Structure 1
């Protein structure tokens, strides 16, 4: 195993690593695989569980930040504190509606499966 690692990473042969360094380097290299053409690509360790965990991690904070930003825009509608024209109000509302529409479309497109066949038999 050490010989294989030294073939992949000749720097280890020069550095004469300790067992700890060797194991850490081996762990890092195990995350990569060599494909045809000599390109190194990360192994897709991101299973559905880790993708789900990432989604759950960011879901609450990102939605909360978006709602907070909309609430701040809502505060600008107070005529006692701000001076704005109706055109400016429409521009803000249109921009927010466009963003929500793009969000809806993105979620809808991601959930739809691509057709496996283009022609009906």
Structure 2
């Protein structure tokens, strides 16, 4: 259950860094962003800035395209605070996961919240 995964996060220090500098040389091969679990710091790669703003969901960008900056940020944040994994990517693949893997998969939170925003915020 998700709540049991969040309990350990409360004990972590609230300070978290967000950086546009690839300090660990991970930004290769299509990596958009990454989280260093030990520090919960999030690093954005250059291609992150090619993604569209969440507000663009109201003008034609689809959730399935997964190129929304807000969704990527939430995806990485779930790694930092809820100890999620990257089981699979893409909203269609996310929906086919078992219930247990849906809770564990960071991309499910991205797709879910981005779809909710598109359905209610536009």
TM-score, length-scaled by structure 2: 0.22
**With CA pairs under 8 Å and 6+ residues apart, which has the higher RCO, 1 or 2?**
2
TM-score, length-scaled by structure 1: 0.22
Structure with larger Rg: 1
